Structure 1
Amino acid sequence: MKNLRLILEYRGTRYAGWQKQNNAVTIQGKLEEAIEKITGERPKIYSSSRTDAGVHALGLCVSFKTSTKVPMEKLPLALNSVLPHDIAVVSAAEADMDFHARFSAKGKKYIYKIHSRAARSPIHRGFAWHVPRRLDFEAMQEAAAHFVGKHDFSAFKSTGGSENTSIRTIHSAELIKSGDILELHISGDGFLYNMVRIIAGTLVYVGLGKIEPQEIPDIISSGDRTRAGKTAPPEGLFLSEVYY
């Protein structure tokens, strides 16, 4: 028996999120089917994140215990041969027996993409939030910097989460611009339910002039969800990396 660690990349558009459901197609369900086809086993899979419907991943980590004899260097190719075209195993490695994709994680990085242009884009559809107006990029940059540090992020979470505390530490938050695409790159020790999407929605409100950059510290300290921006749609969100 060994403990394996896989890194997954996927397009979440067609799926009802990561977590397996009885009446919906999910990333976890497809991965379990693929593992069973290749190894003959149906192990319990642990994920670093339970991404929502429509959310994408560039580096989601999963772990599971198996007795498979398939060599590690061949396992990604074998799994990818039976996985759908929009899910791929990027790498596979043997981990310590006590490694757990979720509980061993020390932090995560997300990217949120915004398409700021009057005309919609067939190319970016499904991979960015289309905001049909020009946004004040400099104001959004200024606002993003205020999220860095250890704070109670109660104003930036949706109801329904199972977290024991709303206190999180954001290590970095920056905006990057490439043509009509704005990208929020944000990393921290953990994130609350919909936290990144609410931060992205708040930054868009800043870009539209609905919220001033200097208001962000007061919104954070208030703990009042109604003072922050809307929850940005899922299609712009990418789980970029998990840190261990």
Structure 2
Amino acid sequence: MTTALITGATAGIGAAFARRLAGDGHNIVLVARDEGRLRDQAAELHDAHGVEVEVISADLATDEGIAAVEERLAERRHPVDLLVNNAGFGNKGEFLQVALEDELRMLKVHCEAVLRLTSAAVRGMRDRGRGGVVNVASVAAFVPRGTYGASKAWVVQFTQGVAHDLAGSGVRLMALCPGFVRTEFHQRAGMGTDNIPGWMWLDAGKLVEAAMKDLARGRTVSIPDPRYKALMGVAKLAPRGLLGGATSRTGRKYGPK
């Protein structure tokens, strides 16, 4: 039986991945900070799907937290076949309104953790000739959205680069770029969402379903909704200055997740 490891697993997109993959018969490794929520979620998944569920309580904004997950990914006796790097957060406020330490913490989680965990996972996957990594980015990667958008743009470029380097190895990598998803993301950051039109919101379960299909197709970038695919097509043609104004009206601080 294969095993999937998911970071940021207790809510939103991460929890949706856990439910989908457990339902498909994968054993699951859940990673998040809240050990109580992890254990409750593990029991629910085990009872509902009869799979084995491990938990790792780790803060990926710390070296110790990243190292704990790296150690699990490096295990050869119980290998991880699919890694979902989903952990992430947003900062409320425009540049210079957000404390520098919070911006650096974001880069630690969105960039360094993704780099280190992907590296730890794909070494064994390459040796076995199979495996997959889904790095959750955002459509914010394609428009001006400050540190959040810049970190997600890094995730997209990094994932595409590694996918190119590992082509033919049996290891698939994909950057998942959702728009606004109904999760705890905005609430945790203290962000209001009243200015976001209803049609822009996505369902986490449907998002994961589309993402898994794109991974199976071998895509390296997934924008899993026709509405956002159309918006990103327009964004490629629009002047950068116009995009900057548009993103400020929807709220830089309300970056999609």
Larger helix proportion, structure 1 or 2? 2
Higher relative contact order (CA 8 A, sep 6+): 1
- Which of the pair has more CA radius of gyration? 1
**Is TM > 0.5 for Structure 1 vs Structure 2?**
no
Question: TM-score category by the smaller chain?
Answer: under 0.3
Give the TM-score of the pair, scaled to structure 1.
0.27
Give the TM-score of the pair, scaled to structure 2.
0.26
Larger strand proportion, structure 1 or 2? 1
